[in-house]
Structure 1
Amino acid sequence: MTDTTVDDALETGEIQVSDDIRIAYERRGSGPDIVLVNNFFMDRKSWRSYTAKLATRARITSYDLRGQGDSSPHPGEPVWEDHISDLKALFDGLGLEKAIVVGTSFSTLICRDFAVAHPDRVQGLILAGPAMSPHGPQRLRRITKSWLKTLETSGLGVLYEQLYPLVSGDRAVEEAGPIGFMGRKQNFLGIHTVDSLRAGLAVSVKAPLDPQIMTKVAAPTLLFVGGDDFSLSTDAVREMVGLFPDAVTVTVPDGGHLAFLEEPEWFQREVESFIERVAGTGD
């Protein structure tokens, strides 16, 4: 592990996972440990705008998945389980005995599987816009394969145009307007390559989607969902809460698949409340 202090508030470094894989991370704040796990459409720096207040109450660690951002690219065919072992290597390398783990969209599956494999390391789970279904894998598999096909046949720009009206709620799309659409498109094109997204989508297709896996999560779980999530109905959320042994849900009215991006203040308040519940950090 190599650490570089960028300023008083930000620590960056790398964890050597194997001979050919290094995981880039950054840490901010102090207090109870929170580990943020990226989905395949963001990098570790993307969290800064949405967790600034949270960093005044907790120590936040974010990292780039292998094949993403400043971490090493995939040396071969992507393997789903590699992301679980990389997260454990991050915990071990940083001396994290236990933490609250936060995921969004497809990374909620990484968080879920890590919590099942290493229940003693997870104090709580926060799943924002979980890419899960209480019924089975078919719908999510087809959606992911269509995105992968778009990427391979039409490129990053067209994929963004396909993703944007799906992952953003109707209200958010209207409020952002054409300027917001173009600004986010430039950001999307700036942090991704065809290769990095191809690897992420290809491994997403391999993610386990058996609903019964949710029943094996022992950690307290918060589902932070949008009322206008294209992939998750109100009925599905209710059934998912019933599958997790200890879960509660917070629904953002009119929020999209990534409601935490649309309502960052609300998201941070809910995370703080969750920390107080599972870690006993109330004032």
Structure 2
Amino acid sequence: MPLIHVERVGPAPFIALNVGGTGDLVVLLHGIGGNRRNWRDNIGPLAQHFQVAAWDARGWGDSDDYDGPLTFEEMSQDLLRVLDHLGHRRAHLVGLSMGGRIAMHFAVRHPDRVQSLVLCDTTQGPKDWPLERRNAFIQSRQAPLLSGKTPADIAEQVAASLVSPHASVEAVAQLVESLAMLHKDSYLKAIEANVADVTLADLSLITAPTLVMVGEDDHLTPPAEAAEIARLIAGAQLHVVERAGHLINIEAPAAFNERVLAFLLAQSEPVRS
């Protein structure tokens, strides 16, 4: 199994990466409640064939906090810095939830830097959400924190709302650990950014080979939304992961790794161990 090491990408805000393997670059982009450790069951298998980098987005994990609101444009610029730091012109982007939105934003604005996309349990954004859905999302995520609670205080409740009824105890524990590590201020900013009424990307402009994946029990970004994303991206494949909710890479790592690896190998000239 390839060794995984930590790198920091500057200048400020510095971005923390777990990096391992050689070959074409695969960048793993976590969701709003995550960090680079969410990929611990995935990075090793993928790094047997590719150079893999799992990041902490700005304001998450061991990456720097920052002043001002969170924007997807800034995160796309951070992603450019990661590719340049690792010396790759193009990368395969694997994004879950918020990470999928970053990947779509990046693919439209920097198509020459994208080799392929894997979009997991994600959404085009809330532009078509009814007002009550937006308000309910913000209320459920922000209100406890604004009332004085910490991310650790709400971690178990939020985790329970995201996973499938079939999720293992170990998968739930991993998600609770991840949520408890959130930077409170950055999480509040991210909730606002993800529910802002903006169109992040015209998906018909995406030309990279794309795999759209979703858990069959995902109630936050359900299979119908995944199917619509796949419909809008020319040639996109759709794969539904059985007995999984919103965190397919954590809840069903073996099934996730098998499907993603098959897709990436078909788009690449990988280095085989």
Q: TM-score range by the shorter chain?
A: 0.7 to 0.9
Displacement of 1:270 in angstroms is: 1.1
Query: Which of these residues, 100, 117, 128, is aligned with residue 109 of structure 2?
Result: 117
Displacement of 1:195 in angstroms is: 2.3
Aligned 1:15-30 pairs, distance under 5 A: 15-17=9-11, 20-30=12-22
Identity within the alignment, %: 26
Q: In 2, are the aligned partners of 1:74 and 1:199 still within 8 Å (CA)?
A: no
Aligned 1:1-283 pairs, distance under 5 A: 9-17=3-11, 20-132=12-124, 136-138=128-130, 141-146=134-139, 147-153=141-147, 154-172=149-167, 175-176=168-169, 184-189=175-180, 191-206=181-196, 208-209=198-199, 213-281=202-270
Q: 1:197 to 1:234 in 2, by over 3 A?
A: closer
Q: In 2, are the aligned partners of 1:15 and 1:93 still within 8 Å (CA)?
A: yes
CA distance in 2, matches of 1:223, 1:155: 33
CA distance in 1, matches of 2:117, 2:136: 25
CA distance in 2, matches of 1:51, 1:13: 15
Q: Write out per-residue CA displacement over residues 119-143 of structure 1, whole angstroms, 9 at most, x where no aligned residue.
A: 0110100011113369824476345
Q: Which amino acid aligns with 1:148?
A: Q
CA distance in 2, matches of 1:49, 1:271: 13
Displacement of 1:47 in angstroms is: 1.4
Displacement of 1:183 in angstroms is: 6.5
Aligned length: 268
Q: Equivalent residue for 1:3?
A: none
Q: Secondary structure at the match of 1:200?
A: helix
CA distance in 1, matches of 2:111, 2:239: 23
Q: In 2, are the aligned partners of 1:65 and 1:83 still within 8 Å (CA)?
A: yes
Q: Write out per-residue CA displacement over residues 143-178 of structure 1, whole angstroms, 9 at most, x where no aligned residue.
A: 541212232224324532432222101211xx42xx
Q: 1:94 to 1:143 in 2, by over 3 A?
A: farther
Q: Write out per-residue CA displacement over residues 233-279 of structure 1, whole angstroms, 9 at most, x where no aligned residue.
A: 44333332211112101111221011221111111111111112212
Q: In 2, are the aligned partners of 1:80 and 1:207 still within 8 Å (CA)?
A: no
- TM value normalised by structure 2: 0.87
Q: In 1, are the aligned partners of 2:39 and 2:250 still within 8 Å (CA)?
A: no
Listed as ranges, the gaps of 5+ residues in structure 1 are 1-7
Provide the aligned C-alpha RMSD in A: 2.6
The one of the two structures with greater contact order (alpha-carbon pairs below 8 A, sep at least 6) is 2
Q: In 1, are the aligned partners of 2:100 and 2:122 still within 8 Å (CA)?
A: yes
Displacement of 1:207 in angstroms is: 7.2
CA distance in 1, matches of 2:127, 2:231: 12
Listed as ranges, the gaps of 5+ residues in structure 2 are none
CA distance in 2, matches of 1:79, 1:50: 27
CA distance in 2, matches of 1:282, 1:45: 24
Q: In 2, are the aligned partners of 1:51 and 1:264 still within 8 Å (CA)?
A: no
Q: In 2, are the aligned partners of 1:222 and 1:247 still within 8 Å (CA)?
A: yes
Q: 1:206 to 1:134 in 2, by over 3 A?
A: closer
- TM value normalised by structure 1: 0.84
Q: 1:75 to 1:216 in 2, by over 3 A?
A: same
